[in-house]
Chain A
Amino acid sequence: MSLGTYALRRSGGLLLVLLVTSFLVFGLLYLAPGSPLAFILGPRGGTPEQIAMVTEQYHLNDPFFVRYAAWLGDILRGDLGYSIVYRQDVSALISGRVGTTLALVSMAAIIITVVGIGAGTFAALRGGWGDQLTSALAAVGLSTPSFVIGVALISVFAVGLGWFPTFGSGTSGVDTLWHLTLPAVALSVASAAYLARITRAAVLEESGREHVQTATVRGLAPGRIVRHHVLRNSLIPIVTVLGLTIATLIAGAVVIENVFALDGLGSLLVRAILQRDFAVVQAVILVLVVAFVVVNAIVDFLYTFIDPRIALGSRQ
């Protein structure tokens, strides 16, 4: 498949996914009880006249398909909508927060890659106590919810030792890195543990292959064998898992952003859901879906680099 066809097919798939998700998201929100009125009218409720006016102004009583069509139309024109709770454009709300989530997820992805692949390879090659210790740690990491890890990290490293700040995403640059370290670690523990397991299995499997044994028998340097024969061939399952976990990190960030009071898309989404701020919920989920699909596309693309025998767009 040529690169052009590939890109075309990918974007076609993306649009389809978006359309289906948008319908689901819109429909589910529409079915869910509650309305943004409570938040627009404020804690003192509102007079019947006010309620009627706000309902009319924001078309809260329009039929489902009318609202869905209007919303789709706006999206196609590049208008993500208007948050009636914040009295702001949704695009402004999102653009202010996307950076934090991106930084958080990137840092977590780096930690997952380094720690996961490192620990998995170590466990597989070292064997014995090293393997057992790594596997035990991985089991603990996998089974502990990220917010628990977050709270524990804050207790120890922020409150107890005072090495890191307790909340927030800092001002910029190094300060942001410093602020995001604990959240990124909390976010990455479970995924790193999972990746370590996958890596360990893949490396073990590759190590047992004939060509590796042949290489060993032929007296090639162990380092060379590991790099060229074992790791390289284990990369396909590792990259697949890595891609999927990074995509799901975006969802996991929702919890972590709340614990660390970060100004990311996750905390925005949570508040918007609580406030029935439809436009914001839909737009954020849309952004998350796009990110998910894009990461998957990148993974697909990487396959052809790792193993040139794999054709573009196929997973065989």
Chain B
Amino acid sequence: MFTPKTMFAAASIATAALLLTACTADDTTDTQSGLSLDLENLATTTTPGTEPVDEVKWNLPYEPMSLDPIFGFNYAENTVTANLCESLVRMKPDLSTEPGLATNVAQPDDTTLVYTIRDGVTFWNGNPLTAEDVAYSLQRQVGETATSYFASYFVNVDSVEVTGPSEVTVKLKQPDVLFAQAMGTAAGAIVEKAAAEAAGEAFGTPDGGLQCTGPFSLEAWNSGRSIQLAANPGYWDATLAPKVQRLSFSFIADESTAVNALRTGDVDGQFFYLPPAGLSQLENGDEVTTTYGESLVFWTMITTNLTGGLADERIRQALSLAIDRKGLAKVVFQGAAVPATTLAGPGYWGYETDAFATAFEEFSADADLEQAKQLVAEAGAPAEPIVLAVQGSSAVHEQTANLIQAAGQAIGLKIESKVIPVEQFGNLYFDENAREGLDGFFTTNYGNFADPLDVYTMFHTADSHNYSGWDGADEQLAAARRTTDPAERAELVIEAQEHITKGLSWIPLAYEPVTLVQNTRISGATASFAYLYAPWAATIGGVK
């Protein structure tokens, strides 16, 4: 991201050119050349490294707040936890699933799920994994006041019980396809009951430690400094036995510092969730390889209410039609993004791919100013300007707002942006008062697994993310969540998608691929979004 701060720094450095050696001078020459990414063909894996490696140093964009999986719902947290704690179902790099800590999931009826727990799995401390541990890990996320960040997947859970020596049965109040799929995310991660109970609230913090079964174990968390993982010699899955002995994480938040650390080899790799300003610098050098991976992340504009300037569906449609998405992907995301036509893009089609693909083709990302103007004429332009919230000191936010402002101007809509400091921006997500006077704001968002329903569920009127109270697809969404048959479900989801994409209470803008940067001495990290939930570092090895 180009913050004003780094821009100023860059300018000052340029003027102080005398001080600088050739290293920075020649970088500026061909930043305009396109990035080497094929957006139609995003990667899921990178060539597995073959040689054993003593240590791999990885950077996180910030220090995790907790490593307890139930609080892992964000980039830095999950990047670490994915290697430590395993889920009942394992997400593969191509976002499909395979058995994880559960060898089998039986569904005797639509409201019962029976998990058979894998034999011979031990926690890092040597204790065997039991059905008790599994039941405990799920139970602590059930209930109205459960603090798990994944609580919304557990709303339909009635009970979780140990029903055999290695069997756990989950009873649902009503059929819920999201629950079953969530078991492939950190929501289904299993921790040791004894360790979690002993540590209490400190579990997963630098003081409280962690106890899981993954290919890496938590060796140390030096608060503020680093997190150290060690290869787990007793890991049950030989195919994912780590070739890396130590995996250590640093927390460089400043983007230019992170890019420099990657260029000098002080850090061996990083996943970026927004393309860093120095991306072309990295790509042009030969110190690292950059891979763009399959992703579930999208960039969107959320309508906060249906009373203001965006109240009329035709106005939202007109605005969406006027946006130059290709320009946005190219300029704002430096080419490292794909224009979005729906919210849940191709990455989400984990089942009934053809049906989703056909439905997807109906939508276009091309701007159509004539039609947009016509829609505005029909609806009548709102008297009051449309106010969009922009996160302070974020170039991606600011530039997107400028682009949309220009789009609005072209079709006769008055759009204003209002800068909200980054420290208050988070309040927009849950505090109604913070959203007052705003018609919309921007956000990156992601669903957790390859089912568009996971994203679209946020448009149910009962969901806490449906800020505007838009209710155009409640019926289909509720029905889809209950429908276990994939073909039937796809039909309902496609119907909901059509309503949601036409209703536009969120305007889709861009799909953001995962940006994986690895030092050339290593290879093998998972390149796809699965890096948030499955052991992405177990396949890393040295390159000869």
Contact surface of A with B, Cβ cutoff 8 Å: 33-35, 37-39, 41-47, 49-51, 53-54, 85-89, 92-93, 96-97, 100, 144-145, 147-148, 151-152, 154-156, 158-162, 165-169, 258-261, 263-264, 267-268, 271, 273-276
With A49-B145, A86-B65, A259-B254 known as contacts, the answer to whether A267 contacts B224 (CB < 8 A) is yes
B257 touches A166 (CB 8 A): yes
B224 surroundings in chain A (CB, below 8 A): 93, 96-97, 100, 263-264, 267-268
With A47-B464, A147-B9 known as contacts, the answer to whether A258 contacts B254 (CB < 8 A) is yes
User: Measured between alpha carbons, how far is A161 from B23 in the docked complex, in Å?
Assistant: 9
- Of residues 423 through 451 on chain B, the ones whose CB sits less than 8 Å from some CB of chain A are 423-424, 426-427, 429-431
B116 to chain A, nearest CB (A): 30
B251 surroundings in chain A (CB, below 8 A): 261
- Of residues 9 through 35 on chain B, the ones whose CB sits less than 8 Å from some CB of chain A are 9, 12-13, 16, 19-24
A38 touches B429 (CB 8 A): yes
A167 touches B225 (CB 8 A): no
B254 touches A39 (CB 8 A): no
Stretch at the interface among B258-266, B407-415, B489-497, B522-530: B258-266
B261 touches A166 (CB 8 A): yes
With A42-B73, A92-B223, A261-B250 known as contacts, the answer to whether A155 contacts B13 (CB < 8 A) is yes
User: Measured between alpha carbons, how far is A130 from B16 in the docked complex, in Å?
Assistant: 22
With A35-B427, A96-B222 known as contacts, the answer to whether A44 contacts B21 (CB < 8 A) is no
A78 to chain B, nearest CB (A): 18
B455 surroundings in chain A (CB, below 8 A): none
A91 to chain B, nearest CB (A): 11
B162 within 8 A of A: no
Task: Knowing that A87-B205, A89-B207 touch, tell me 16 more A-B residue pairs with CB under 8 angstroms.
Answer: A34-B423, A38-B427, A46-B464, A47-B144, A53-B145, A53-B147, A92-B223, A155-B23, A158-B266, A166-B261, A166-B266, A261-B250, A261-B251, A261-B254, A261-B261, A273-B423
B544 within 8 A of A: no
B9 surroundings in chain A (CB, below 8 A): 147-148, 151
Give the 5 A-B residue pairs with the shortest CB-CB distance, closest first: A38-B426, A263-B224, A160-B23, A42-B149, A45-B430
B422 within 8 A of A: yes
B208 surroundings in chain A (CB, below 8 A): 87
B8 surroundings in chain A (CB, below 8 A): 148
User: Measured between alpha carbons, how far is A42 from B141 in the docked complex, in Å?
Assistant: 14
A151 touches B13 (CB 8 A): yes
B395 within 8 A of A: no
Residue ID in chain B nearest A157 by CB atoms? B21
Residue ID in chain B nearest A140 by CB atoms? B16
Residue ID in chain A nearest B423 by CB atoms? A274
With A38-B429, A167-B250 known as contacts, the answer to whether A154 contacts B205 (CB < 8 A) is no
User: Measured between alpha carbons, how far is A263 from B151 in the docked complex, in Å?
Assistant: 33
B104 within 8 A of A: no
User: Measured between alpha carbons, how far is A145 from B5 in the docked complex, in Å?
Assistant: 11
Give per-residue flags for B230-254: 1 if the beta carbon is below 8 A from chain A beta carbons, else 0: 0000000000000000000011111
User: Measured between alpha carbons, how far is A86 from B257 in the docked complex, in Å?
Assistant: 24
A44 touches B149 (CB 8 A): yes
Residue ID in chain A nearest B22 by CB atoms? A160
Residue ID in chain B nearest A54 by CB atoms? B147
B46 within 8 A of A: no
B261 touches A37 (CB 8 A): no
11 contacts between A and B (CB under 8 A): A34-B426, A44-B149, A50-B147, A87-B66, A87-B208, A147-B5, A158-B260, A158-B264, A160-B22, A166-B261, A166-B264
B260 touches A154 (CB 8 A): yes
**Which listed residue, B65, B151, B252, B256, touches A47 by the CB 8 Å rule?**
B151
With A147-B9, A261-B257 known as contacts, the answer to whether A51 contacts B430 (CB < 8 A) is yes
Residue ID in chain A nearest B250 by CB atoms? A168
A88 touches B260 (CB 8 A): no
**Which listed residue, B23, B145, B252, B253, touches A50 by the CB 8 Å rule?**
B145
A85 surroundings in chain B (CB, below 8 A): 65
B456 within 8 A of A: no
B431 surroundings in chain A (CB, below 8 A): 35, 37
B354 surroundings in chain A (CB, below 8 A): none
A156 to chain B, nearest CB (A): 6
B267 surroundings in chain A (CB, below 8 A): 167
User: Measured between alpha carbons, how far is A69 from B423 in the docked complex, in Å?
Assistant: 26
**Which listed residue, B12, B21, B66, B465, touches A161 by the CB 8 Å rule?**
B21
A69 to chain B, nearest CB (A): 24
A156 touches B147 (CB 8 A): no
User: Measured between alpha carbons, how far is A161 from B147 in the docked complex, in Å?
Assistant: 49
A159 surroundings in chain B (CB, below 8 A): 23-24, 260, 263-264
Residue ID in chain B nearest A33 by CB atoms? B424
A168 surroundings in chain B (CB, below 8 A): 225, 250, 266
Residue ID in chain A nearest B445 by CB atoms? A43
With A37-B430, A50-B145, A50-B151 known as contacts, the answer to whether A160 contacts B12 (CB < 8 A) is no
B71 within 8 A of A: yes
A154 touches B429 (CB 8 A): no
B361 within 8 A of A: no
Residue ID in chain A nearest B261 by CB atoms? A166
A167 touches B266 (CB 8 A): yes
B201 within 8 A of A: yes
Give per-residue flags for B453-469: 1 if the beta carbon is below 8 A from chain A beta carbons, else 0: 00000000000110000
Residue ID in chain A nearest B19 by CB atoms? A152
A148 surroundings in chain B (CB, below 8 A): 8-9, 12-13
Residue ID in chain A nearest B446 by CB atoms? A43
A151 surroundings in chain B (CB, below 8 A): 9, 13, 256
B145 touches A43 (CB 8 A): no
A39 surroundings in chain B (CB, below 8 A): 65, 426
A260 to chain B, nearest CB (A): 7
A160 surroundings in chain B (CB, below 8 A): 20-24
A74 to chain B, nearest CB (A): 18
B206 within 8 A of A: yes
**Which listed residue, A49, A152, A162, A169, touches B264 by the CB 8 Å rule?**
A162
